[in-house]
Amino acid sequence: MPLYEHVFIARQDLSSAQAETMMTEFTEILGEGGGQVVGNEYWGLRSMAYKINKNRKGHYAFLKLDAPAAAVAELERRQRLHEDVMRVMTIRVDSHEEGPSAIVTAKNSRDDRRGGRGRDRGDRPPREDRGDRPPREDRGDRPPREDRGDRPPRDEAPAVEAPAAAPAAAPTE
């Protein structure tokens, strides 16, 4: 049977559990058509390059498929009818790559660089330049602003009068 890689984007207002449940539903649909899911990955809630149906983010899911073309066509048809699925893309491939996809690999390496999700600074010392700062209201060494151009100070500015209301139009019969 031919091999496919399939990605779909679900609406952002779903929970991650609901998005992963959708993956199992679509796996069952594929099984009904005689195909199988070789591997799947949930990529999480990600920002999109442009809005789709007024959504800026979406839950991304990736499926590695081994299925006949008719089963894949039925899967795509049902996903396009599903109200929670915004976009679908299926690509035929010669062979599936072993291991995690490039998206998951990049996400894991980014988390490793950050030290996980926390604010751990690793082996770097704490920042010393913040502790000895004076409070913001202490700016006594700053000279007063004198160069304000030719405009008068606010206290001496003339009051602006509101425009007179236009007369009401006479009713026409």
Token pair listed for 78: 């049902």
Phi-psi label, residue 53: left if phi above 0, alpha if psi -120 to 50, beta otherwise: left
Q: What is the 3-state secondary structure (H, E, C) of 69-83?
A: HHHHHHHHHHHHHCC
Residue 111: predicted pLDDT: 65
Query: What's the one-letter identity of residue 107?
Result: K
Backbone angles phi, psi at 2, to 5 degrees: -70, 155
The pLDDT tens digits for 88-125 are 999 999 988 887 788 877 877 776 665 554 555 556 66
Residue 127: predicted pLDDT: 62
Phi-psi label, residue 115: left if phi above 0, alpha if psi -120 to 50, beta otherwise: left
Residue 4: predicted pLDDT: 94
The more confidently predicted of residues 138 and 77 is 77
What is the edge-to-edge ordering of all strands in the sheet holding 55-66? 36-52, 55-66, 3-11, 85-93
Residue 171: predicted pLDDT: 67
Percent of the chain exceeding pLDDT 90 equals: 43
Q: Which residues pair with 41 in a beta bridge?
A: 62
Residue 123: predicted pLDDT: 64
Residue 131: predicted pLDDT: 59
Whether 67 has a pLDDT exceeding 80, the answer reads yes
For the chain, list the domains and their CATH numbers: 3-114 (3.30.70.60)
Residues 6+ apart with CB under 8 A from 70: 33
